[in-house]
Structure 1
Amino acid sequence: MHCHDRAESPRGSFRAALVLLFAGLLALIPWSNNTASAHGAIVNPGFRAYMCHERWGGDHLNPNMAQEDPMCAQAWQANPNTMWNWNGLYKNNVGGNFRAAAPDGQLCSGGNAESGRYRSLDAVGAWKTTDVNTNFRMELYDQASHGADFFQVYVTKQGFDATRQPLTWGNLELVKTTGRYAPAQNISFDVSAPGRSGRHIVYTIWQASHMDQVYFLCSDVNFR
């Protein structure tokens, strides 16, 4: 076998180990970005960037992503930090003016389309969905334990086609406003969206408690 043709010198082994170590450190850079901006997001039914990270974060170089999950693939191609920073889609100092902060066509990027990091989340198409009933439970994971002044949950109206139409405020119906939640990493609450069937978008506004920081989160669902 070739591996026995010539013994490798200690110096060569040391250099090879350094190369492998350097490559390993480079591979960790995107994950470091994620950790540095740790905040939170809706993880069930999962927010778009979170679901892409769940499916492809550990397999982002797989060429099958383009065929199996084209909406996540276009997000990755547009800006890899969309996935790595799935927990950082927020705006500060909104003052309760949510519609101005996230205008029509930019709801899923939380009005951050110009920054480039989250623009791809506004893309219209067949995002993969999570199956839910019309009575379902929302789950937030917040690594930083910001707490919440409240959550507002909207669901698209029956007849809206998320695969063909950009999301606008006129397409949404407010179905839930919660009270305050103390700081915690895991927060959950129940939501009811009667009269829905098939594909929809659940749009969550999370007003954090630690400061005027607002998260705008699109989750794609299929009502059974």
Structure 2
Amino acid sequence: MQHQDHPRTPRRALRGLALLSAAALALVPWAESASAHGSVVDPASRNYGCWQRWGSDHLNPGMQQQDPMCWQAWRDNPNAMWNWNGLYRNGVGGNHQAAVPDGQLCSGGLTEGGRYRSLDAVGPWKTTRIGRDFTVKLYDQASHGADYFRVYVTRQGYDPTTQPLRWSNLELVRQTGRYAPSQNISIDVSAPGRTGRHVVFTIWQASHMDQAYYMCSDVDFG
């Protein structure tokens, strides 16, 4: 009888280990992506902002009332937030308008199989308060560097709470040259003549390969 009892404990232990392993594996995709790429962190891109505000509390039902745009994004695909630094397309060759259609700018043209489609949703996204002169700060954890950045701001009269974002809504306010590999990059921008809600749209053309990132940041010029 004792000989028959012995296998039971290892089976229980193995079941426990399997559950622990599954839980650990569930964290791996986020950990791998977080060490691989980057995003605009100030003013926060839409998915970075949702991760920053709710990553440790994303099951809180209060998000539906407090932050409804993030609520719909988390419900649509949580990986859009866990992979806040993976919103890019390869092989665009600089032809961004051809690769990213109107209405899909914030998802990079439904890149990554549509993972980021919730970021194209029209509505009252949380904003960062800025002035006419502000700084775009990008966190490049992998130190890819940049061939260039293009920073656009929506034209006065555009309403991000009721209108999908189109290329024609944007004004290019800054194009940079090359940046050497670095984790923290700051770009000074001036966008006069604006009040109220706007979208800052940043294109980051990484220099390690033909890889373009597309990031929407919601702002309020006051």
Please, what TM-score do these two structures have when normalized by structure 2? 0.89
Q: In the alignment, residue 92 of structure 1 is paired with which amino acid?
A: N
Match 2:105 to one of 107, 126, 132? 107
1:1-224 paired onto structure 2 within 5 Å: 19=16, 26-37=22-33, 38-112=36-110, 115-224=113-222
Per-residue CA deviations over 1:142-196 (Å, capped at 9, x if unaligned) read: 1111000110000000010000000000100000001110001111110000001
1:85 and 1:28 mapped to 2: Cα distance? 17
1:98 and 1:220 mapped to 2: Cα distance? 21
Q: Is the 8 A contact 1:75 1:121 kept in 2?
A: yes
1:29 and 1:65 mapped to 2: Cα distance? 27
Indicate the residue corresponding to 1:7 in structure 2: none
Deviation at 1:67, TM superposition (A): 1.3
Query: 4+ residue stretches of structure 1 with deviation over 4 A?
Result: 21-30
Taking structure 1 as reference, are residues 61 and 27 closer, same or farther at Cα in structure 2, changes over 3 Å only?
A: farther
Q: In the alignment, residue 90 of structure 1 is paired with which amino acid?
A: Y
1:134 and 1:29 mapped to 2: Cα distance? 45
Q: Is the 8 A contact 2:135 2:186 kept in 1?
A: yes
Per-residue CA deviations over 1:64-85 (Å, capped at 9, x if unaligned) read: 1111111111111111100000
SS in 2 for 1:121: helix
SS in 2 for 1:124: coil
1:59 and 1:24 mapped to 2: Cα distance? 21
Deviation at 1:117, TM superposition (A): 0.7
Aligned residues: 212
Taking structure 1 as reference, are residues 28 and 165 closer, same or farther at Cα in structure 2, changes over 3 Å only?
A: farther
SS in 2 for 1:175: strand
Q: In the alignment, residue 32 of structure 1 is paired with which amino acid?
A: V
2:23 and 2:194 mapped to 1: Cα distance? 43
Per-residue CA deviations over 1:61-118 (Å, capped at 9, x if unaligned) read: 1111111111111111111100000000000010110001111000000012681310
Q: CA RMSD in A?
A: 2.1
Deviation at 1:22, TM superposition (A): 6.3
Q: In the alignment, residue 193 of structure 1 is paired with which amino acid?
A: A
1:127 and 1:30 mapped to 2: Cα distance? 28
2:30 and 2:217 mapped to 1: Cα distance? 20
